[in-house]
Copies of this chain bind each other. A is one copy, B any other.
Amino acid sequence: MSTTPLAAPRRATITDVAREAGTGKTSISRYLNGEMSVLSPELRARIEAAIERLNYQPNQMARGLKRGRNRLIGMLLADLTNPYSVEVLQGVEAACHALGLMPLICHAANEVEMERRYLQLLTTYRVEGVIVNALGVREETLRPVGGGGIPAVLVDRSVDGLVADMVGLDNRAAAELGTRHLLDNGFDDIWFVVQPFEQVSSRQLREAAFREVMSGAGGTSSDARGHTLVLNLAEPVAVERALAELDRAIDAADGPGDAVASVTGNATGNATSSVTVRTGGKGGRIALFAANAPVALCLALHLKARYGADWQARVALLSIDDPEWAELTGITAIRQPTYEIGYRAVEFLHERIEGVQTTARDCLLPGELIVRASTLR
C-alpha cells in the first residue's frame, strides 16, 4: 500500500538503542545475548520496546570481530551444475539452519584457479570452517585452511596429504552394487565410464571396485569383460574420441551369432587395449556404467543422437547419481544419500569448530540401487 520511505539514514546501533532505552550499552548487549535472568523485567521491557521502535538489528560483523567467531562457514562447490551438489547443499543448509551457522556458498565452476581464490577469500572473511567439494584441491591449496587452523571437512573426495574429516558415498560398495546388478542381469560386456580419475579419490575408488568385481566375475560366470573408458568432459575432442571408441564396441557387440573382434584403448593416450570376442545372442547387449550423472548425461545424449530415441534397446545404462531425468528416461541408478552427506558434513565441521580433537574421521554412506527398465533382461 504505502510507498516505502526512501529516507534510509543509518541503521541503528547498540548505542542508539541504549540511549532510546535510557540505559547503558552493556544491558543491551546482555539482552541480545539472551542473558535475561540478569535483567530486571522492567529494564528488559524498555529495551525490548526501544529495539522495536528503532528496528534495531545487531551487526553480525561487529559481533564477530569482537568475539572472534562470526558463525560463518564456507562451502566450496566444484560444480553446482551437477545435481549432486545442489542436493548436498540442501543438507548443508538444513544443518546450518539447525546449528545456527550461515553457509557462504562458493561455486568454483570447475576451475581450479577459482577454487584457490575462493578458499583464500573465505579465509579473508574469517569463516569458522570450510566444507570442501572441489576439483583440484591439493594439500597445498588447502594449506591456508586445514593447516592455517581453520577446520575443514571434505565431501565426496579426500585429499591426500591432508588429514581432515570426510563424508561421502561408500564408493566401493556402490560400484560393487552396480556391477553385480549388471552381471546378475546377464550383461557380460560392461563399460565403466568415468571422468579422469587420477586426482579424484571417489572416482578412483569406483573404478577400482568395478574392476575388482569384474575380474572376480571372470572366473565365476562365463567370461564377462570389463572395460574402463575415460571421458574427459572438459575436453570436447577427447570426448569425441572416447565416444567413437564406444560406438565401435557397441556396433561390434550388436547382432547375434557372428564373432567380432574389437580393439579398444583408453582416452588418455596411455592406451590400454583389449581384444574381446563376442559370441552373440541377445545377451550381447552392452551395458554402460556411468560413474556419475554428468557422464551419464553425456552418454545418453550421444547415444540418442547416434541410435535414435530407441537407443536403450542397444545399450543399457546404469549411473551413479540419480538425476531428475533418470526416471524419465528409464535408466537405472544408484542414488547417493546426498542430503545426509551434506548434513553430516556440517555436523562434523561444527564439532571441529567446537574444538573436538579426534583424529580424522571418515563417514561413508550407502547408495541405493534404483532399478529401471534400462538394465533389465
Interface residue ranges, A against B (CB under 8 Å):
1, 3-5, 8-9, 11, 55, 57-62, 64-65, 70, 80-81, 86, 89-90, 93, 102, 104-105, 107, 109, 120-121, 123-126, 139, 143-144, 146-150, 161-163, 297, 300-301, 304, 309, 323-325, 327-330
Contacts and interface: CB of A to CB of B under 8 A. Distances in A.
Given A61-B65, A102-B121, 8 more contacts: A4-B162, A55-B148, A57-B120, A60-B126, A65-B65, A81-B86, A90-B109, A104-B104
B325 A61 contact: no
A175 B113 CA distance: 40
A107 B86 CA distance: 10
A125 B323 CA distance: 35
Contacts of A104: 102, 104-105
A124 B4 contact: no
B329 A328 contact: yes
Q: Nearest 5 CB-CB pairs, A to B?
A: A8-B149, A4-B147, A325-B325, A105-B105, A61-B61
B149 A9 contact: yes
Contacts of A126: 11, 59-61
A107 B62 CA distance: 25
A65 B14 CA distance: 14
A109 B80 contact: no
Contact of A89 (B5, B80, B325): B80
Nearest to A293: B324
A93 B65 contact: no
B61 A89 contact: no
Nearest to A324: B297
10 contacts: A4-B146, A4-B147, A8-B148, A8-B150, A11-B148, A60-B124, A61-B61, A105-B105, A309-B330, A329-B329
Question: So how many copies of this chain end up in the complex?
Answer: 2
A149 B330 CA distance: 51
Contact of A57 (B124, B161, B309): B124
Nearest to A143: B4
Contacts of A4: 139, 143, 146-147, 161-163
A323 B328 CA distance: 13
A328 B61 contact: no
Contacts of A58: 124
B3 A163 contact: yes
Contacts of A324: 297, 323, 325
B61 A125 contact: yes
A373 to B, nearest CB: 8
A332 to B, nearest CB: 15
Contacts of A327: 301
Contact of A149 (B11, B64, B149): B11
Contacts of A105: 104-105
A3, A61, A70: which has the most chain B beta carbons within 10 Å?
A61
Contact of A329 (B55, B102, B150, B325): B325
Contacts of A328: 297, 300-301, 304, 325, 329
A368 B139 CA distance: 44
A160 B3 CA distance: 10
Contacts of A329: 325, 328-329
